[in-house]
Structure 1
């Protein structure tokens, strides 16, 4: 009996060893020809604690990148008008005109006055967007006249014309006399910089990695792993850079100091003095 039991145990051990060996051979056959990154990913997935830690780190990174959208005192969307923004734009416009007048009066050789023109154009656009179409077109016309007068060769005539335009803006486009129009506003989106948008795009690509990785494998069927790897790197780096560059080119960088918590609904009695008026 003891001999039979020992024989049975020995046979079971040999059978288990054979199964383990065959499993190892099969696994080695599956991994043979795989890239180094595939081998690393295969070994990484076998460690549950490492996968859980990576998920936690990804959640923390996602929360930090999306912090400008989640942790701020601005509404994501509202329909109404921003009186404070118009007032600040008008004040900045008058200041830029004063500096431009001083620069043209002094006329120092090699002085760079282009930043003044960029500031004037930005403030004109902010103010015109808050006005009715007719008044906005009138203000844009004044902006074009400011650009032309500032670049005029005749220094004396340029200074006089700029002073006249400055007085006209102060008298005809003061916030106390203007009727601002309601329009859709996206304060959180408008306050994002190109760098923040690039990081958000990169994080979204990372979160959607299984989807676009599957798409790359489907579109690159029969291609080498090297092309798939370069396609992944190009997609992950190129799209955030492209989105960031386009955002920087289209959306001007500005600091929104509006106190949205002090905003009131249009139906409230004190809405005429509120920095922000919400229609909805």
Structure 2
């Protein structure tokens, strides 16, 4: 077994070059590998192609890379609350491959499992399958780059015939993920909602870098509780339990005094 630990986020991302492709875990702001994202920002890496469910918010998560104009392309299922994401896309500064959420998850899982492509009913009869979905605008509101048409075939499953669209797997140069606990061999345990896209992003990266709140020794994790085996993880660093965790939208119920 190999000790995969790194002393700092800066060391862990130091060899990520300009133009790299990254799969990044997180959903909204839950489970964002913020220490790794900020280290990437600090070292000045640019022209990135990033696969992630969304792009953080204007001042946190992947939004900090977006604001610094470090991202060339996003492959996402949701633009969300990030106004800069919307602005850059509509102005033609950013390419966006908008992908149905479940399809995006399966494309990442397939890439990590050695599956080249798969057929799904999601997107059949829409621009997802037929092509023409805007990927880049020209700055005047016209579409400069549109999605191509995809292969659609008819299959019969359980006695019912239907159309299915071919979706290719995603494999990236690197992946950045956040986990609650991990050991020196790279075995990871995620906490509740932070599990989201993190295991799938980890699987899809040729080199997976994981930040964990607590680093333990091999054997300390219950094997039956491990969500992602260390075979998928190449580098791991401890960021501590005090790391900032943002909430995208805080909604609270009025207190009794406010109600009265």
More strand by share: 2
The structure that has the greater radius of gyration is 1
TM norm structure 1: 0.22
TM norm structure 2: 0.23
More contact order relative to length (CA 8 Å, sep ≥ 6): 1
